[in-house]
Structure 1
Amino acid sequence: MSDSEAEAPVEEVFPENEDCSQAGSIRKGCDPLAQTQRSKLQHRRSRINQQINKEMRMRAGAENLFRATTNHKVKETVALELSFVNSNLQLLKEELEELNSSMEVYQNDSESINVPMIPLGLKETKEVDLSVSLKDFICEHYGEDSSLYEKELVELMELRQAMRTPSRNEAGLELLMEYYNQLYFLDNRFFPPSKNLGVYFHWYDSLTGVPSCQRALAFEKGSVLFNIGALYTQIGAREDRSTTPGIENAIDAFQKAAGAFNYLKENFSNAPSLDMSVPSLNMLVRLMIAQVQECVFEKVLLQLQGVCRFSAHLQVAQEAARVADVYSLVYQTMTQPPVKDYVPFSWTTMVQVKSEHFKALSHYYAAVAFCDHDMLLVDDEGESEKLLIQFHVGVLEGPVLSTVLRDPEERRKLGKAHLKKAVMMHEEAMRIHSLCKILRKMDILQEVLSFAHKRSLGCYSQIDHEDDFFETAEAPPIRPKTQQKPELKTTNFSKVRVTDIFHRLGPLSVFSAKNNWSPQRRVHLGRAAEAGLRKGDYITSVNGQDCKWWKHAEVVQLLKSVTEEGVDIGVITILLPELQSQTDRRSVVLSSSGLMSSDKENVRRLGQSNTSRSTGSLLTWNKKNSTAVGKGSSSTFSLPFKDTEAMY
C-alpha cells in the first residue's frame, strides 16, 4: 500500500445532537471548551483535577517539612497550613463528587420519564510529549535518521490529543479503540522489556481526581480501556428508553461497558489508581449488570403494555423482583471497604433507592394480577396453579392455592397484602432518597418515585373495604425471574482496523524493540558469500532503495539482474542476546561478474514469520488474539490483544 493509500481520509461522521464544536473525522475529538453541558462538565472536571494535584503536592511538601523540622514554631505554622490544605482538598473532593453525581446531564432529553441511569465520567490525562524519547530510540535502536519520521510523530501526538475528548457516540468509541490498537504497535516498536524510555504517563482517578504517574505503557492502555467502558455507560444512559430500539441499544451499551471493565480487571494488575483496582472494577461490573437488568424490565413492561393477562402481570412482577435483587447485590458491594469510602454517596443512595423501588413495583404488579378479576383468563386451572407455585417463594399449595384460584375475595385479600407491601417500600425508597442532597435535586427521580407511590396508594384505597375487620396478611415473597439474562460483551477491537503509524521502520517481526541486530553494513554484491553475506542476514536496501517491505521474489529478481559492476545492498544481522555486546561496524566491498545460485538462497531471510506486502503473520503479544496483515508499506491490526503482564 502506498503512502497516499495509507492516509486515505476517513469518512466524516456528523452525529446528531452531539456536543462537539464541529463534526469531523474519526481522529478529531470534541472541543472541551464548547458551550454544552457535557463539555462544561468535562472542563470543570479537568480544572478540579489540576487543583487537587496542586493541593496534594503542597500537602506532601508540608508533611515532609513537619517531619523534618524540630522547631516548635515552624511545626505549628506547618500544622496550620496542613489544616488549610486538607480543608481545600475536602472541598474539591465534594465538588468533584457533585460532578460525578450529575447524572441528568448524560440522560436522554426526550419527554418520556425514566429512572436515571448512573454513567461514569472519563479519566482525564495530561499532555505527554513522546517525540523526544521516540526520536532517540529510532536513532539508537534502529540506526535511522529520526528527522525522517517527523510526520509519524505528529500523527501519533494528534491521535493522542484527540482521544482525550471523544464524542459520545460510535465515532468517539472508534477513536478510543484506534488509539488503543495503535498502542500495540507502539509497545512493540519502542518499549523493550529490559529498558525504560523514561516517558511518564499522567492520568487522574475518574472519581477522586487523585493523579497517578507511571512509566509503563500498560498504564496508558488500561486507562484508555477504562475510558472505553466509561463512554459506553454515557451512551447507554443517553438512549431513549421509551422505545424498544432505544432499550435494546441501552442494554447493548451497558453490557459492553461491563465487558470492558471485566476485561480490564482480568488482564491488568497492580493498578495505581482506585478506579482501576479489582474491588472497584468488580463494583462497576455489577452496577452495569444491574442497569442492564433494569433495561430488561423496561423492555418486558413495554412489550406487555396493554396486555390484560394474569400471567403477563406475574411476569412483570418477577422481572421487577430480579432487578431489586441485583441492585441489592450492588449496594452490598458498594458498602464494603475499600469501595465504601471511594464511591460517591449519591451512587450508593441511588442504588439503594432503586432496590427498594423495584421491590415495591414487584408487589404492585402482583397485586394488579390478583385484584383485577378480568385478568384471570387462564382457563386451565392446572396452568394457573403452576404459575402461582413458580411465582411465590413461600409455600402456597393445597387448599390455600385452590381457594386463591377459585375465590375472588381470597384473591383480593392476597392482592391487598401485596399492595400494602408496595406502599411501604415506596415510602422507604422516598425516605432514603430524601437523605441525599444531590438526589433531591434530581426532579426526574423524584417524579418517578412520587408517581409510583401515589399509584400504589390509590389502588390500595380502592380495594380497602370498610367492612374489612381482618388484619391484612403479610405478602409472601416474590420469586425473581428474568426472560433475558445479562451478559458481558468483550470490546470488539477488530472492527477498528488501524495502520501501524511507524510501518516505514520495517516488518514488525524483525524491526521491533525486542530484537537487536548488528549495525547496518554496506555490501557491494558480486558473489554473495565472498561479499560477506551470511545466512540469516536481512536486506534493508537495494541500490539505496528501501526494501524492508519487499517480497522475497522481488529482491531475488533484482539480484538476478546484477550487472558486471554488481549491486549495492544494505544488510543487518539479527543478534543473539549473548552476541549483542560484540557488535562492530564493518564494510565489505567486492566486485564480481556473477551470482552463484547457491548464494541466492542465502541472500535474504524471508521465512513464513516475516510480513510481506501480500501475506500476514502473527504478532508476538498473544498469538491467539492478535495478528498483523501487511499490505504494501503498512501493517494492519485486525484482532484484539491481551496484556497479561503486570501493568506497572
Structure 2
Amino acid sequence: RATSNHKVKETVALELSYVNSNLQLLKEELEELNSSVDVYQNDSESISVPMIPLGLKETKELDLLVPLKDFISDHYGEEGILFEKEIKEFMELRQAMRTPSRNEAGIELLMEYYNQLYFLDSRFFPPTKSLGVFFHWYDSLTGVPSHQRALAFEKGSVLFNIGALHTQIGARQDRASLPGLNQAIDAFQKAAGAFNYLKENFSNAPSLDMSAASLNMLVRLMVAQVQECVFEKMTFLRAQHDFLTRLQLAQEAARVEDVYSLVHQTMTQAHVKDYVPFSWTTMVHVKSEHFKALSHYFAAIALCDCPAASDAELPEHEKAFIQFHVTMPEGPSLRVLLQDPEERRKLGKAHLKKAIMKHEEAMRIHGLCKILRKMDILQEVLSFAHKRSLSKYSEIDHEEDFFETGDAPDVHPKTHQKPEIKSPNFSQVKVTDLFHRLGPLSVFSAKNKWYPARRVHLMRGENGFGFTLRGDSPVLIAGVIPGGCAAEAGLKEGDYIISVNGKDCKWSKHAEVVQLLKSTGEEGVEITVITLQGLEGQKTVDKKAAVMSAGSGLLKSNKENSRKSLMNSKSASTLLVWSKKSKRSKKSTYGIPFTTVGDNEAMY
C-alpha cells in the first residue's frame, strides 16, 4: 500500500481525475480534428453535399541503416557498408511516402513504397527470426499509437493510406461538372477496393481503424458515396423533365437513401459505435433522411408537373409505375391514376407531404451535431431542398381540398449504375529491387540459408574442369565427375557459382559464365561458390505465416503472399523463370550418370 493517509489518497484521486478529464478533452479534440470533412472539400462555388474523407495514418521516422547492414553482413556474408546507398534510398522513399501529395502522384508514391516492401520482406525478414525493428503507426481517427515488428503491419498501414488518399481525392472533386463526377466516382470506388483488399488479406491489426469491423464500415461508406455521385451524375445528364426521367431520379435517390441507411446501421453496431466519430454517424443519418425526402420530391413532380399519359404512352408508363413503389398506393386503378390529373395531384401531394417531413427530420438531426452546424454548405443544401418542397406543396395545394392527404408509399430503390469495388492495381507502378546487387531472389533471400562461401582454385585437366553447369542467374553446378579437377578441389553438386576470377556472377547468364571459364589460361581459374543448406529454406516458407501470427499478431494471408505474381519488374520476371529452372535442375542432378548430359546442361 502506497499510503494509509486518507487525505493524501483523496488528493491523489482528485489529481488523477483532473489528468484523466484533460486527456479525454484532448482525445475528443483530436477526434474532431481527424474526423473533419470540410477541410478536404473542393473550392468550387457550386453547392454540393459534402463527402466524408479519411485522414492519413501517421508514422514515426524509421532508421534501418544499422539493422539492414548487420543483416547483410550476418546473413549474406557481404560488407554491409557497401549497401548504405541502397538502404538510404529506401529510407528516403519511406520518408517521402509519409506526406504524399493529394493527387495521382501521391497514390503512385504510396504504391511504389508498398511494392518495395515486397522486396524488403523477401530480402530481410526470415520466417523464424525478427529483424528487431518496430513499425510505429497512429490510428487515423483517434491518434492512438500502435507498433509491431511484423512488416505486414507496415504493409497494411500503407494500404490503408492508399484508400484514405483516394477518399481525399474523391472529396475534393468539383461535382458540378461531369468530369469531376466521374473522377469522384472512380476515386471512391478505388478507396472501397483498397479497404476491402485490406480487410480480406490482413488480420489481427493492432489499431481499431484497421479492424475488420471498421474496414467493413469504410467499404460500405465508400460504396454509398459512389452511389450518391451516381445520383448527381443522373441529375446532370438527364436534363429533360419527362415523366419517366423523374421516376428514374426518384428511384436513384431512394437507392442512395438505402445504402446510407445500411452504413448508418453499420456505424451504430457495438464494435464500431464508440469508435466512429459522432459527426460521421450524424452526417450519414442526415444523408439517409435527405435522399429519402428527394425520392418523394421527384415522385411528386413526376406526377404533378408532367402531363397525364396519352393512350400511346400508357403501356410504357404503366410498366415503369407498377415497379415504382414498394407497395402499390391505395385508390383508383393504375390506368386511372396515370390518366386522371386530379388523382395524380392527390398522390403527388402525399409524396410532397412525406418529403417535407423527411427534410425537417434531416435538418433536426443535423442540428444535433456541433461540427455539422459549422458546415454552412450542408445547412444550405438542406434548407434549399426543404424550401423547394414547401414551395411545390403550396403550389398544388387547393383551398377546396377537403380530402385528407394520405400516406404515400416509399419509392422502390433502383440504380442504372452499380458501384464497382476496384482493388488496387499494384502492377501499374513498376519498381526495381533496390537491393538487386545481393543477387537473384530465388537464391539470395531471407528464407534461404547457405554455408559460408568457398573460394576454389581450378586447373583445367585433360577432360576440362570436370563439372556440368545448368541454368543462369546464378549458374548451378549440376554434376561433378568423380576424380576430376572439380571434385578434387571440393566442388559439389548443387553449388552456385557467384564469382569467377573476382567478377561477380550472381546475375550472369549461362553463356557469360562459360565464356569466363573458357578464357582462363594455364594459371587456372578461381571461382567462389555457395551451397544451400539442404531444403531447410524451402521447408520454412510454409511456416512463415504461422510464425508471424504468433510472434507479432498481424498475419498475411496466402493471397497477400502470392502477390509476387503482380510484380512485373524485370527482376521479378527473371526470378520466376529461374525458380522453375532451379527446381527442375535439383530433381535431375542427384544420382545422374555423368556419361549422360541433359539437354539443359553443358560439361566443362
Q: Give the structure-2-normalised TM-score.
A: 0.84
Equivalent runs, 1:491-502 vs 2, <5 Å: 491-502=424-435
User: Which residue is equivalent to 2:420?
Assistant: 487
Aligned partners of 1:261, 1:247: CA distance in 2, in Å?
21
AA aligned opposite 1:570: T
AA aligned opposite 2:215: L
Aligned partners of 1:620, 1:365: CA distance in 2, in Å?
46
Contact 1:69–1:75, Cα closer than 8 Å, also in 2: no
Aligned partners of 2:563, 2:272: CA distance in 1, in Å?
36
Describe the SS at the equivalent of 1:239: coil
Q: Deviations over 1:557-584 (max 9, x none)?
A: 211222111111111101126799xxxx
Describe the SS at the equivalent of 1:391: coil
Go from structure 1 to structure 2 and tell me whether the alpha carbon gap of 1:342 and 1:287 turns closer, same or farther (over 3 Å shift). same
How far 1:337 sits from its partner (Å)?
Answer: 1.0
User: Which residue is equivalent to 1:471?
Assistant: 404
AA aligned opposite 2:386: H
Q: Are 2:492 and 1:534 equivalent residues in the alignment? A: yes
Aligned partners of 2:375, 2:89: CA distance in 1, in Å?
43
Q: Are 2:558 and 1:625 equivalent residues in the alignment? A: no
Which stretch of structure 1 is more off in the superposition, 397-406 or 355-364? Answer: 397-406
Which stretch of structure 1 is more off in the superposition, 94-103 or 151-160? Answer: 94-103
Go from structure 1 to structure 2 and tell me whether the alpha carbon gap of 1:99 and 1:375 turns closer, same or farther (over 3 Å shift). farther
User: Which residue is equivalent to 1:121?
Assistant: 55
Q: Are 2:267 and 1:357 equivalent residues in the alignment? A: no
Aligned partners of 2:101, 2:563: CA distance in 1, in Å?
32
Q: Deviations over 1:560-609 (max 9, x none)?
A: 222111111111101126799xxxxxxxxxxxxxxxxxxxxxxxxxxxxx
Q: Are 2:490 and 1:556 equivalent residues in the alignment? A: no
How far 1:536 sits from its partner (Å)?
Answer: 0.8
User: Which residue is equivalent to 1:443?
Assistant: 376
Q: Deviations over 1:339-368 (max 9, x none)?
A: 000000000000000000000000000000
User: Which residue is equivalent to 2:98?
Assistant: 164
Aligned partners of 1:244, 1:71: CA distance in 2, in Å?
73
Contact 2:201–2:560, Cα closer than 8 Å, also in 1: no
Go from structure 1 to structure 2 and tell me whether the alpha carbon gap of 1:538 and 1:72 turns closer, same or farther (over 3 Å shift). farther
Equivalent runs, 1:156-305 vs 2, <5 Å: 156-305=90-239
How far 1:415 sits from its partner (Å)?
Answer: 0.5
Contact 2:308–2:339, Cα closer than 8 Å, also in 1: no
Go from structure 1 to structure 2 and tell me whether the alpha carbon gap of 1:381 and 1:454 turns closer, same or farther (over 3 Å shift). same
AA aligned opposite 2:562: N
AA aligned opposite 1:217: L
Aligned partners of 1:481, 1:633: CA distance in 2, in Å?
46
Q: Are 2:69 and 1:135 equivalent residues in the alignment? A: yes
Equivalent runs, 1:297-336 vs 2, <5 Å: 297-305=231-239, 307-336=240-269
Contact 2:448–2:536, Cα closer than 8 Å, also in 1: no
Aligned partners of 1:118, 1:620: CA distance in 2, in Å?
28
Describe the SS at the equivalent of 1:540: strand
AA aligned opposite 1:557: Q
AA aligned opposite 2:182: E
Specify which of 375, 382, 397 is matched with residue 315 of structure 2: 382
User: Which residue is equivalent to 1:583?
Assistant: none
User: Which residue is equivalent to 2:525?
Assistant: 567
Q: Deviations over 1:227-250 (max 9, x none)?
A: 000000000001111111111111
Go from structure 1 to structure 2 and tell me whether the alpha carbon gap of 1:567 and 1:497 turns closer, same or farther (over 3 Å shift). same
How far 1:377 sits from its partner (Å)?
Answer: 6.7
Aligned partners of 1:620, 1:416: CA distance in 2, in Å?
56
User: Which residue is equivalent to 1:65?
Assistant: none
Aligned partners of 1:629, 1:121: CA distance in 2, in Å?
31
Q: Are 2:501 and 1:543 equivalent residues in the alignment? A: yes
How far 1:521 sits from its partner (Å)?
Answer: 1.2
AA aligned opposite 1:114: S
Go from structure 1 to structure 2 and tell me whether the alpha carbon gap of 1:537 and 1:72 turns closer, same or farther (over 3 Å shift). farther
- Number of residue pairs aligned between Structure 1 and Structure 2: 530
Go from structure 1 to structure 2 and tell me whether the alpha carbon gap of 1:375 and 1:500 turns closer, same or farther (over 3 Å shift). farther
Go from structure 1 to structure 2 and tell me whether the alpha carbon gap of 1:194 and 1:70 turns closer, same or farther (over 3 Å shift). farther
Describe the SS at the equivalent of 2:326: coil
How far 1:414 sits from its partner (Å)?
Answer: 0.5
Q: Are 2:59 and 1:101 equivalent residues in the alignment? A: no
Go from structure 1 to structure 2 and tell me whether the alpha carbon gap of 1:490 and 1:373 turns closer, same or farther (over 3 Å shift). closer
How far 1:94 sits from its partner (Å)?
Answer: 1.6
Ranges in structure 1 where 5+ consecutive residues have no aligned partner: 1-67, 581-618, 637-648
Aligned partners of 1:133, 1:311: CA distance in 2, in Å?
67
Contact 2:447–2:537, Cα closer than 8 Å, also in 1: no
Describe the SS at the equivalent of 1:576: coil
Contact 2:439–2:507, Cα closer than 8 Å, also in 1: yes
Go from structure 1 to structure 2 and tell me whether the alpha carbon gap of 1:71 and 1:536 turns closer, same or farther (over 3 Å shift). farther
Contact 2:427–2:566, Cα closer than 8 Å, also in 1: no
Describe the SS at the equivalent of 2:562: coil
Contact 2:329–2:408, Cα closer than 8 Å, also in 1: no
Which stretch of structure 1 is more off in the superposition, 185-194 or 124-133? Answer: 124-133
Specify which of 318, 334, 340 is matched with residue 401 of structure 1: 334
How far 1:172 sits from its partner (Å)?
Answer: 0.2
Aligned partners of 1:311, 1:120: CA distance in 2, in Å?
37
Which stretch of structure 1 is more off in the superposition, 447-456 or 550-559? Answer: 550-559
How far 1:398 sits from its partner (Å)?
Answer: 9.4
How far 1:477 sits from its partner (Å)?
Answer: 1.3
AA aligned opposite 1:262: N
How far 1:531 sits from its partner (Å)?
Answer: 1.7
AA aligned opposite 1:622: S
How far 1:621 sits from its partner (Å)?
Answer: 3.5
Describe the SS at the equivalent of 1:338: helix
Aligned partners of 1:620, 1:237: CA distance in 2, in Å?
29
How far 1:512 sits from its partner (Å)?
Answer: 0.2
Aligned partners of 2:572, 2:375: CA distance in 1, in Å?
56
Aligned sequence identity (%): 75
How far 1:84 sits from its partner (Å)?
Answer: 2.5
AA aligned opposite 2:314: E
User: Which residue is equivalent to 2:273?
Assistant: 340
Q: Give the structure-1-normalised TM-score.
A: 0.79
Aligned partners of 1:415, 1:620: CA distance in 2, in Å?
54
Go from structure 1 to structure 2 and tell me whether the alpha carbon gap of 1:633 and 1:369 turns closer, same or farther (over 3 Å shift). closer
How far 1:386 sits from its partner (Å)?
Answer: 1.0
Aligned partners of 2:83, 2:58: CA distance in 1, in Å?
28
User: Which residue is equivalent to 1:9?
Assistant: none
Aligned partners of 1:446, 1:222: CA distance in 2, in Å?
37
Cα RMSD over matched residues?
2.2
Contact 1:270–1:277, Cα closer than 8 Å, also in 2: yes
How far 1:197 sits from its partner (Å)?
Answer: 1.1
How far 1:623 sits from its partner (Å)?
Answer: 6.9
Contact 2:130–2:149, Cα closer than 8 Å, also in 1: yes
How far 1:382 sits from its partner (Å)?
Answer: 1.4
How far 1:224 sits from its partner (Å)?
Answer: 0.3
Contact 1:356–1:426, Cα closer than 8 Å, also in 2: yes
Aligned partners of 1:175, 1:536: CA distance in 2, in Å?
40
Ranges in structure 2 where 5+ consecutive residues have no aligned partner: 460-484, 539-558, 577-604
Describe the SS at the equivalent of 2:270: coil
User: Which residue is equivalent to 1:85?
Assistant: 19
AA aligned opposite 2:251: Q
How far 1:90 sits from its partner (Å)?
Answer: 1.1
AA aligned opposite 2:21: S
